[in-house]
Amino acid sequence: MSSGQSLAVTRIATASHAPLALHKEAASDRAPCCRCPHCNVTALARASPFVVDSSELTTAPPFASLPFPSSPLPAKPQSPTLPIPLIGISLAALLHAPQSTPPLSAQEHLLATLPSPLIFPPCLPYPHYTFADHTATRHQLTFADHTAPHKQLSPPPSLSLSTLPDTMAPTKKAVHFGGGNIGRGFVAEFLHNSGYEVVFVDVMDAIINSLNDAKSYTVTEIGADGQRSFTIDNYRAINSKYNMPEVVNEIATAEVVTCAVGPNILKFVAEPVAKAIEARSSDLPPLAVIACENMINATTAWKGHIETYIKDKLNAETLNTIEKRARYANSAIDRIVPQQDEGAGLNVKIEKFYEWCVEQKPFENGGNKPAIEGIHYVDDLEPYIERKLFTVNTSHATAAYYGHQAKIPYIHEVLTDQKLHDTVRAAVKETAALIVKKHGISQDEQDKYVETIISRISNPTLKDNVERVGRAPLRKLSRKERFIGPAAQLAEMDLPVDALLGAAEQAFRFQNVEGDEESVELAKILKEKSAEDAASHITGLDKDHPLYERVVAVVKKVQGA
Cα of 341 vs its chain's centroid, Å: 25
CATH number of 309's domain? 3.40.50.720
Q: Has residue 406 got a pLDDT over 60?
A: yes
Measured between alpha carbons, how far is 260 from 282 in angstroms, rounded to an integer? 28
- Based on its alpha-carbon atoms, the radius of gyration of the chain, rounded to whole angstroms, reads 28
Q: Has residue 232 got a pLDDT over 90?
A: yes
What is the DSSP secondary-structure string of 367-422?
A: ------TTEEEES--HHHHHHHIIIIIHHHHHHHHHHHHTT--BHHHHHHSHHHHH
Q: From residue 238, how far is each of 196, 245, 272, 354, 401 by CA, in Å? A: 16, 11, 12, 27, 36
Measured between alpha carbons, how far is 280 from 251 in angstroms, rounded to an integer? 8
Domain boundary among 378, 403, 438: 378
Q: Has residue 426 got a pLDDT over 50?
A: yes
Number of domains in the chain: 3
- Contacting residues for 400 by C-beta, under 8 A, at least 6 apart: 411, 414, 466, 467, 469, 470
In terms of domains, do 80 and 221 share one?
no
In terms of domains, do 362 and 390 share one?
no
Q: From residue 297, how far is each of 216, 291, 301, 539 by CA, in Å? A: 32, 9, 7, 18
Task: Write out the residue range of the structural domain in which residue 419 sits.
Answer: 382-559
In terms of domains, do 436 and 548 share one?
yes
Q: Which residues pair with 217 in a beta bridge?
A: 232
In terms of domains, do 142 and 214 share one?
no
Output the pLDDT for position 477. Answer: 98
Mean pLDDT computed over 505-517: 98
289 and 326 Cβ atoms separated by less than 8 Å: yes
In terms of domains, do 146 and 238 share one?
no
Mean pLDDT computed over 464-469: 96
- Contacting residues for 303 by C-beta, under 8 A, at least 6 apart: 289, 328
In terms of domains, do 395 and 524 share one?
yes
In terms of domains, do 206 and 334 share one?
yes
What is the number of other CB atoms lying within 10 angstroms of the CB of residue 284?
A: 18
pLDDT bin (cut points 50, 70, 90) of residue 156 is: very low
Q: Has residue 41 got a pLDDT over 70?
A: no
Residue type, 423: T
In terms of domains, do 357 and 443 share one?
no
373 and 194 Cβ atoms separated by less than 8 Å: yes
Residues in the chain: 561
pLDDT bin (cut points 50, 70, 90) of residue 60 is: very low
Q: Has residue 403 got a pLDDT over 50?
A: yes
Output the pLDDT for position 339. Answer: 86
Output the pLDDT for position 106. Answer: 31
Q: Has residue 46 got a pLDDT over 50?
A: no
| Range from 112-121, 217-226, 434-443, 475-484 carrying the lowest mean pLDDT | 112-121
Mean pLDDT computed over 403-416: 98
Mean pLDDT computed over 223-238: 93
Return the SS3 of 547.
Answer: coil
Mean pLDDT computed over 539-553: 98
CATH number of 405's domain? 1.10.1040.10
Mean pLDDT computed over 451-473: 95
Highest mean pLDDT among 45-49, 102-106, 341-345, 522-526: 522-526
535 and 541 Cβ atoms separated by less than 8 Å: yes
Q: Which of 403, 387, 517 is nearest to 449 (CA)?
A: 387
pLDDT bin (cut points 50, 70, 90) of residue 223 is: confident
What is the DSSP secondary-structure string of 184-198?
A: IIIIHHHHHHTTEEE
Q: Has residue 90 got a pLDDT over 80?
A: no
In terms of domains, do 406 and 454 share one?
yes
Domain boundary among 355, 378, 401: 378
Q: pLDDT tens digits, residue range 261-272?
A: 999 999 999 999
Percent of the chain exceeding pLDDT 70 equals 69
In terms of domains, do 423 and 368 share one?
no
Q: Has residue 115 got a pLDDT over 90?
A: no
- Contacting residues for 134 by C-beta, under 8 A, at least 6 apart: 170, 171, 172, 195
Measured between alpha carbons, how far is 448 from 461 in angstroms, rounded to an integer? 22
pLDDT bin (cut points 50, 70, 90) of residue 412 is: very high
pLDDT bin (cut points 50, 70, 90) of residue 225 is: confident
> To the nearest whole number, what is the mean pLDDT of the chain?
77
In terms of domains, do 444 and 547 share one?
yes
Region of 265 (left: φ > 0; alpha: ψ -120 to 50; beta: rest) is alpha
Q: Would you call 30 exposed, middle or buried from its count of C-beta atoms within 10 A (0-12, 13-18, 19+)? A: middle
pLDDT bin (cut points 50, 70, 90) of residue 224 is: confident
483 and 476 Cβ atoms separated by less than 8 Å: yes
pLDDT bin (cut points 50, 70, 90) of residue 561 is: low
In terms of domains, do 429 and 337 share one?
no
Residues annotated as catalytic are 388
Domain boundary among 148, 168, 188: 168
Q: Which of 189, 139, 505 is nearest to 337 (CA)?
A: 189
Q: Has residue 9 got a pLDDT over 90?
A: no
Return the SS3 of 252.
Answer: helix
